[in-house]
Amino acid sequence: MKSIIKYIRREEWSPYIAGTLLGVVGILAVWLSNSLLGASGAFENLVGLAGQAIAPSLFDNMYFNYVMPPGITWGVILLVGLFFGGMLGAATSGTLKWGKKGSANSDEQWKTIFGQQTWKRWVLAFVGAIILEYAAGIAGGCTSGLAISGGMLLAPSAFLFIAGMFASGILTAYLIYRKRY
Amino acid sequence: MSTYVIALILGIAFGFSLNKAGLTKYHKIVNVFRLTDMAVLKFMMTTLVVSMSGLYLLRALGLVTFPAPPATYAVGNLIGGLIFGFGMALSGFCPGTCAAGSGEGKLDYLIPGLLGFFVGAAIYGLTYQQVFPIISNIANAGNVVIPDALDLSPLLTVLFFAVMSFFLFYLIDRAGLQRKKEI
């Protein structure tokens, strides 16, 4: 029992154990809620909600009315859970960053490559997030909604997405890291 | 109501597993693309093997019916994946890991990250009509899964995928890709 608690408190688990946990979560989502895990769709539901409140005529289109209706969906609650799950995970290993030094630019490897400036990290995180969300829209889902959820059902779309993701991810990392690749 | 409780609990377990697998760290995501630390790939493949084994077994026993799988429209899935990989190597996160990392108190995930996802979601929703119908019409096979579409035995397909995954894990360890390279 003591060794189990000690393992839970570790900062990083074996990818096989963490992966098994997420696999079980994926099964339970289908079994209990007939739903698939996802994250990018929840951002659409939420932005539709905000958009229709702030600029109703702009957000009164086919997409927000029929394809991704705004609202507090199952996926939005899952997204809230993701937030608290990350918090719980970091809390068990004592690695929470709230109010700590380095929370604004959280990765040492990043600093080695791009420098210490926080604004650079924030600009690239912001631009990267926009690109990711748009790409997820085109592909039909993100790493969770398409790669994991589609993959576990053996949908061809998931494997096409994963192939594209790794091809351009490897190329981009190479271009950024060059000699340090 | 109870379905919301399930979503919340599953979401917490989801975020917890992302944290423990190290996916809420920039370097873990980028180093899989640099082929120096393949933990993220091992994590993803393990998740797939476990969940597809469970789900196809439950389906064979008649205990679950699958929800509609993500639609296959080959060009869109692939182009989306290509753009997605670029964004992921640039930022070191994806929508799910950014949400989990935000909960850990990483401000670069919480503020520019989440804000970027909302802005991206708005831009996509407002340009959907001009972009999506065209792309999704090319090579559209609908909501198919491989064993049903190709008339293969589902359980043998899952077994094949599992064996291939274990073989991949073996190759990764043999090639020493797990080793973390100094920068």
For A24-67, write each residue's pLDDT tens digit.
Answer: 999 999 999 999 999 999 999 999 999 999 999 999 999 999 99
pTM of this prediction? Answer: 0.96
Q: Which of A16, A57, A59, A82 to mutate to test the interface with B (most CBs of B within 10 A)?
A: A82
Instruction: Return the residue matching tokens 């423990």.
Output: B20
Residue B161 belongs to a domain: yes
Residue B180 belongs to a domain: no
8 Å CB contact of B80 and A124: no
A69 touches chain B (CB under 8 A): no
Among partner residues A18, A26, A140, which is closest to B51 by beta-carbon distance? A26
Half-sphere exposure of A64 (CA within 13 A, CB side): 27
| pLDDT score of B90 more than 80 | yes
Residue B179 belongs to a domain: no
Strands B72-73 and B140-142: antiparallel
Q: Within chain B, what is the greatest distance between any pair of CA atoms?
A: 52
Q: Please tell me the predicted confidence (pLDDT) of residue B181.
A: 57
8 Å CB contact of B21 and A12: yes
A55 touches chain B (CB under 8 A): no
Nearest CA in chain A to B13: A85
Residue B181 belongs to a domain: no
Contact A46, A155 (CB under 8 A): no
Q: Cα(first)–Cα(last) distance of chain A, in Å?
A: 42
For chain A, what are the domain ranges? 1-96
Q: Tell me the chain A residues in contact with residue B95 when contact means C-beta distances shorter than 8 Å.
A: 39-40, 43, 132-133, 136, 142-144
- Domain residues for the domain of B54 are 2-174
| pLDDT score of B177 more than 70 | no
Which value does ipTM take for this structure?
0.96
Structurally, chain B folds into a number of domains equal to 1
Q: pLDDT digits over A112-123, tens only?
A: 999 999 999 999
On the 0-12 / 13-18 / 19+ scale of CB atoms within 10 A, B145 is buried
Q: Tell me the chain B residues in contact with residue A166 when contact means C-beta distances shorter than 8 Å.
A: 33, 85
Q: Which of B56, B84, B129 to mutate to test the interface with A (most CBs of A within 10 A)?
A: B84
8 Å CB contact of A15 and B16: no
| pLDDT score of B180 more than 80 | no
Contacts of A84 (CB under 8 A, 6+ apart): B11, B12, B15, B103
A181 touches chain B (CB under 8 A): yes
Distance CA A165, CA A145 (A): 14
Distance CA B125, CA B164 (A): 38
Q: Which of A46, A68, A118, A168 to mutate to test the interface with B (most CBs of B within 10 A)?
A: A168
8 Å CB contact of A122 and B111: yes
8 Å CB contact of B43 and A172: no
Distance CA B74, CA A159 (A): 10
Contact B63, A35 (CB under 8 A): no
CA distances from B175 to A27, A64, B35, B79, B88 (A): 32, 48, 10, 30, 24
Residue B183 belongs to a domain: no
Q: Tell me the chain B residues in contact with residue A173 when contact means C-beta distances shorter than 8 Å.
A: 30, 33-34, 89
| pLDDT score of A141 more than 90 | yes
Distance CA A58, CA B34 (A): 42
